[in-house]
Chain A
Amino acid sequence: MAPHDLRRQYKRPAISDQQRRRELSLRRQEQNRREAQLQARRLASTLLSLE
């Protein structure tokens, strides 16, 4: 049976830069998706309010 691994993070940052790159990319993609949606809705709203 494998012994319980005790080792914890030692003098290392909790989040690696690689993890940060992933998260920042995801955030950018989410933001871009939201902007694309908003743009479509904004266009529709303008048309709707003109009617």
Chain B
Amino acid sequence: VASIELPHKQWPELVEALLSNTNQLPTHTRQATLETLGYICEEVSPDVIDQDQVNKILTAVVQGMNASESNNDVRLAATIALYNALSFAQANFSNDMERDYIMRVVCESTLSPELRIRQAAFECLVAISSTYYEKLAPYIQDIFNITAKAIKEDEEPVALQAVEFWSSICDEEIDILEEYGGDFTGDSDIPCFYFVKQALPALVPLLLETLLKQEEDQDQDEGAWNIAMAGGTCLGLVARTVGDDVVPLVMPFIEENITKPDWRQREAATYAFGSILEGPSPDKLMPLVNVALNFMLNALMNDPNNNVKDTTAWTLGRIFEFMHGSTLETPIITQANCQQIMTVLLQSMNDVPNVAEKACGALYFLAQGYEDVEQSSSPLTPFIHDTIQALLNVTHRADAGESRLRTAAYETLNEVVRCSTDDTAPIVIQLVPAIVRELDQTFAAQSVSSEEREKRNELQGLLCGCLQVMIQKLGSSEPTKSHFLQYADQMMTLFLRVFGSKSATAHEEAMLAIGALAYCAGSDFAKYMQEFYKYLEMGLQDFEDYQVCAITVGVVGDICRALEGNILPYCDGIMTQLLKNLSSNQLHRSVKPPIFSCFGDIALAIGENFEKYMVYAMPMLQGAAELSVHTSSADDDMIEYTNTLRNGILEAYSGIFQGFKGSAKIQLLMPFAPHVLQFLDSLFLEKDMDDVVTKTAIGVLGDLADTLGSNAGILIQQSLSSKDFLNDCLSSDDHLIKESAEWAKLAISRAISF
């Protein structure tokens, strides 16, 4: 009730009334009051409650947490309430005295004899680490001592929170350092305090110790989460935060444990090695990886323990993910060891499901490393046939439903196809009918239970995904395109049948595959439109699964480019739906920019026939343009979204102007020209466009000048965009911006020369 009424200032006495309870006995009233305050803080936004009341809430809560409070239920309720109230405490965390007091009480609570209170207090520390990172410096030494003790000695729920504190600090520092790296001024809103680097010599041994506390068969339990998993995950984050410095601290542990008879020691050593492969420089890791690779291949084949094999296969995957690829100077996979690596990986696909799944993952990254090889041949060429066969065999295993094995096998097949080269194209072409057949067979079973139906939908999604990848790959060159297009009718029939299921994922995959097919089939796609249209409309109406909606909007663009003017008979329906979507408050905001871009695709395809939609589309574009000009005081996400929106609007204008080019109806666009130019000028003045928007914006100026010509000559000359903005873009380092600017310059010079 409070969450509804407080934002409307309709229950002003509530907080005061609750606070008056906190000094009263009996304890259960105080406990219930603190719980209620906690719920309120969880539900309502911080700006709804006055600072004066926030202060009183925090005072009551912190008092409830104090050691002088003898009742554990009250202390626990107060600690949980503080967790929820932390986002209200901005002002209090800026005041040294108040912050010191809150931090002291939280730290004291981590030492409570009651496990639930200790756990809740550590939860508060985790939340503080991400919300108030920049205020932590005076307390970090004490917090290290407290977390270290908890990680070593406390019960698992508490120890997990203590590890999470350091993972969360790593998250913060990775974000800050990424911002430093991306910005040459070295500027970030929050400075990095290098807490992880400072704690490193003590923190790493602490984390390594946790790795030895694995549970038996933890890899077979999807929901498992324990101190060893948390410790290794944290170690991975530490490596990403500090880079090279972590390596000498971890290597002795690996060397000491990797050959021990106890599987826990071998697994922990392997997991430690796999965890530090992202972050340190390749120079630092390369010599170690070169030695480790052979050891890992042997372990994957011969270690008697499945946990060790699972982690070994995962570590091989990490080696291939971070230490293999065209950007690295010395290859770790060579002609000399490639055969052995492939033999081991393919053989591991017959291992227990969790190990086979990790082997598929390793193969995925191994293939990905060859993504950039020249198109004619690849070092993987000699192995492609056997690899595809092995992966297909995995998908047919009776136990492929366990450990996401089937999914991993199909996804690896996708990557192998993506990275295949001309010399293996015939093998990939042969795969098309095989996957088509698999998809066809999913429709064979008629009456199935809901569990089986779910499995079938998942499989259909995977197979559509696989076909999409093949369409995209084989459609990218003429000779292979003609070969696979012979299956187009069959594929399309099956994709349409997939829409009969109720699975959003399967719909999404089928839609993506159809988009890829439309692009490849070009004008021939027209023959599918009549049947496909109702599903297209259905996709556009799917607000709930907004990803499906977004993808369908993209597919409309594909179809526009494939059919050009022949899409006209379907445009009334499509435009009606798109306009409805734009007006809806229910549709996820991320779908709106692509809808504007889609207006441009439609206009470009149907040219002056777009006329009848202008009366609806133009006011929407103008309204959105005005809203999107200012981003001041917005957060990073909002700025990014605003730029995406601007780009969508500009792409719409671009398509509309280009679509009308040469038409007798260009006069219809004249009333909109002042607004478009004003929009471009405003964007230029705001100075917060990203490069993509800049490129699209200057391109629109060219399109406007090109289409309207001398009709808009004076308007263009008066605009800021045609001078300062254009000049800035002409001297840009970004070649796409420069290219668009050259175009604008040419079109403007013609428009104003008459």
Contact = CB atoms under 8 A, between A and B. Distances in A.
Bin chain B's interface residue count.
35 or more
A25 B699 CA distance: 24
B558 A29 contact: yes
A8 B558 CA distance: 37
B468 A21 contact: yes
Contact of A44 (B516, B551, B554, B661): B661
Nearest to A44: B706
A48 B750 contact: yes
Contacts of A41: 658, 699, 702-703, 706, 743
B415 A33 contact: no
A28 B83 CA distance: 45
Interface in A23-43: 24-26, 28-29, 32-33, 36-37, 40-41
B601 interface: yes
B503 to A, nearest CB: 13
B558 A32 contact: yes
Bin chain A's interface residue count.
20 to 34
A3 B601 contact: no
Contact of A11 (B311, B508, B702, B750): B311
A28 B468 CA distance: 12
Contact of B321 (A10, A13, A29, A45): A13
B126 A4 contact: yes
B160 A6 contact: yes
Contacts of A22: 508, 512, 547, 551
Contact of B230 (A8, A24, A45): A8
A36 B516 contact: no
A6 B224 CA distance: 11
A35 to B, nearest CB: 9
Contacts of B421: none
Interface of A: 1, 3-4, 6-11, 13, 16-18, 21-22, 24-26, 28-29, 32-33, 36-37, 40-41, 44-45, 48-49, 51
A42 to B, nearest CB: 9
Q: Which 7 A-B pairs have the closest CB atoms?
A: A17-B411, A40-B658, A11-B314, A7-B225, A8-B233, A29-B554, A25-B512
Contact of A6 (B38, B230, B658): B230
Given A6-B164, A21-B465, A37-B658, 6 more contacts: A4-B161, A4-B164, A18-B465, A22-B512, A25-B515, A25-B554
A50 to B, nearest CB: 11
B225 A28 contact: no
A8 B163 CA distance: 12
B557 A29 contact: yes
